[in-house]
């Protein structure tokens, strides 16, 4: 029985990165042998065990055989005769198909170290095409390391899309990979790779439809709505925003991709037109509630949040604060403002532009929050309508004072 460190731990060690998790492959053993040594069997689909002391995962070396469409249609062979090279061959990319023995010697039968040095994502074998999740993984690794995809691997990915493999991915797995990709350093790269191979049109057709949609050069030097979306998403990543904020940044402009038959009346802009497409994406991906809600909120209000400097009436400011539920959920409102900042800065040449609107909204929110609703309620007890009206007027007055303070730079 021999044990090898494999996969991401070896890859990240060669890249000089901190190794977060370590996975091990056991060659020349069977399940009973490991359990006799105190390992705990936790694998549902194939033999995976937890080390009795470290609780790290140890898997028996195995091979795979495709038996049905999708990423679950596999039959595994994990007998004692499976070699390390056979186990590494079943892996997706060469950079993930390396191992290290107990003396620290690198075992690299498929050229992973060279591909790491050349910043290339390359498939190990033609068996790559058997698992459509690998398309998402390639895009995610591109987003993590900013590597390019080998031409022959991109050809395979395109063939997989054309063969309908991507259509058999379940929502939970798609969301899992996309969410991880959004939280990488270069999430824009993930969207670019998915678009290049054609998977974006299958998984996120609403995003794919943005590319080629023109925008007014006065406000968007990048012209193309799809490019603007990529810039906004990348800006959100550069600012280290949360997953809900990055997800909202990705979806904020879906209303710009309306077809002629879907064009709404002139008084309804692309902010409101994007609500139905976002609802469709949320449902298809089964996005978590916090992500889904923030995406809809940003879509609906980002134009009005941008235009705060044009508002002259305190009542209109308070109306937006009420509609966005900012008084009860200030953290979500601030998250929406963060996405608006990424939207404003996600334009060519405006990456470091000061987003004054964020400070204005937070100032007005703070002013409205200072109103003591409990004291007002005690003063006018027994009349809910009067209480609501008095609180409303007090908040309008507070916002008006804040507006005066900002305009004339005086204390209030």
Please, are residues 37 and 51 in contact by the beta-carbon 8 Å criterion? no
Give me the pLDDT at residue 70, please: 52
pLDDT of residue 260: 44
- Whether this prediction's pTM lies above 0.85 is answered by yes
Nearest residue to 70 via CA among 180, 169, 189: 169
404 lies in some domain: yes
- Given this model, what pLDDT does residue 246 score? 98
pLDDT tens digits for range 3-52:
999 999 999 999 999 988 899 999 999 999 999 999 999 877 678 999 99
Mean pLDDT of 250-261: 78
> Does residue 398 lie in a domain region?
yes
Of 59, 77, 111, the residue that ends a domain is 111
Confidence of residue 169 (pLDDT cuts 50, 70, 90): very high
Q: How confident is the model at residue 412 (pLDDT cuts 50, 70, 90)?
A: very low
Domain tally, the chain: 2
Residue 58 C-beta-side C-alpha neighbours within 13 Å: 25
Domain containing 84 — which CATH number? 3.30.460.10
Report the percentage of the chain scoring pLDDT > 90: 75
- Number of other residues whose CB lies within 10 A of the CB of residue 268: 11
Which of 61, 80, 111 lies at the terminal end of a domain, its last residue? 111
Residue 265 in this model has a pLDDT that exceeds 60: no
- Say whether pLDDT at 411 is over 60: no
Name the domain boundary from 93, 111, 129: 111
Residue 66 located in a structural domain: yes
Residue 258 has a pLDDT of 63
**Whole-angstrom Cα distance, residue 261 to residue 240?**
38
The reported pLDDT for the residue numbered 66 is 66
Chain-centre distance for alpha carbon 219: 26
Higher pLDDT, 328 or 69: 328
C-alpha distances (whole Å) from 15 to each of 89, 116, 117, 238, 262 are 21, 8, 9, 22, 49
Asked if the model's pLDDT at residue 264 lies above 70, the reply is no
The pLDDT, as a whole number, for residue 67 is 61
pLDDT digits (tens, 9 = 90+) for 275-298: 999 999 999 999 999 999 999 999
261: pLDDT strictly greater than 50: no
Per-residue pLDDT at 43? 75
- Euclidean distance between CA atoms 29 and 25, whole angstroms: 10
Residue 102, in any domain of the structure: yes
Q: Which domain holds residue 379?
A: 370-408
Summarize pLDDT for 60-116 with one digit per residue, the tens: 999 877 666 555 556 778 889 999 999 999 999 999 999 999 999 999 999 999 999
For residue 71, is it within any domain? Answer: yes
pLDDT tens for 378-410 read 888 778 888 999 999 999 999 999 998 887 664
């Amino acid at each position: 029985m021999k044990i090898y460190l494999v996969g991401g731990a070896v890859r990240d060690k060669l890249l000089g990165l901190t190794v977060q998790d370590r996975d091990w492959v056991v060659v020349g053993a069977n399940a009973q042998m490991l359990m006799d040594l105190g390992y705990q069997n936790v694998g549902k689909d194939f033999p995976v065990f937890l080390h009795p002391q470290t609780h790290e995962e140890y898997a028996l070396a195995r091979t795979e055989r495709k038996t049905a469409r999708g990423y679950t249609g596999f039959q595994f062979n994990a007998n004692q005769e499976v070699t390390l090279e056979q186990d590494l061959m079943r892996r997706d990319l060469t950079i993930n198909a390396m191992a290290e023995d107990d003396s620290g010697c690198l075992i690299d039968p498929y050229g992973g170290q060279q591909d790491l040095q050349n910043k290339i994502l390359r498939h190990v074998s033609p068996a790559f095409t058997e698992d459509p999740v690998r398309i998402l993984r390639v895009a995610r690794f591109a987003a993590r390391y900013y590597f390019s995809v080998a031409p022959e691997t991109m050809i395979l990915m395109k063939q997989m899309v054309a063969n309908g493999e991507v259509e058999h991915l379940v929502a939970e797995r798609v969301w899992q990979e996309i969410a991880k990709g959004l939280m990488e350093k270069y999430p824009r790269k993930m969207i670019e790779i998915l678009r290049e191979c054609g998977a974006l049109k299958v998984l996120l057709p609403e995003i794919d439809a943005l590319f080629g949609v023109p925008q007014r050069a006065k406000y968007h030097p990048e012209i193309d709505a799809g490019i603007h979306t990529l810039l906004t998403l990348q800006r959100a990543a550069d600012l280290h925003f949360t997953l809900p904020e990055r997800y909202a940044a990705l979806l904020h402009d879906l209303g710009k991709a309306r077809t002629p038959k879907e064009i709404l009346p002139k008084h309804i802009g692309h902010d409101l037109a994007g609500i139905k497409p976002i609802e469709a994406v949320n449902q298809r991906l089964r996005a978590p509630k916090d992500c889904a809600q923030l995406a809809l909120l940003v879509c609906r209000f980002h134009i009005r949040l941008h235009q705060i400097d044009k508002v002259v009436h305190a009542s209109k400011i308070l109306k937006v604060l009420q509609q966005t539920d900012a008084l009860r959920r200030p953290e979500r409102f601030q998250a929406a403002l963060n996405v608006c900042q990424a939207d404003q800065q996600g334009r060519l040449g405006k990456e470091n532009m000061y987003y004054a609107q964020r400070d204005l909204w937070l100032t007005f929110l703070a002013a409205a929050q200072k109103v003591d609703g409990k004291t007002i309620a005690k003063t006018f007890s027994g009349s809910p309508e009067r209480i609501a009206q008095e609180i409303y007027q007090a908040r309008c007055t507070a916002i008006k004072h804040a507006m005066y303070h900002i305009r004339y730079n005086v204390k209030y």
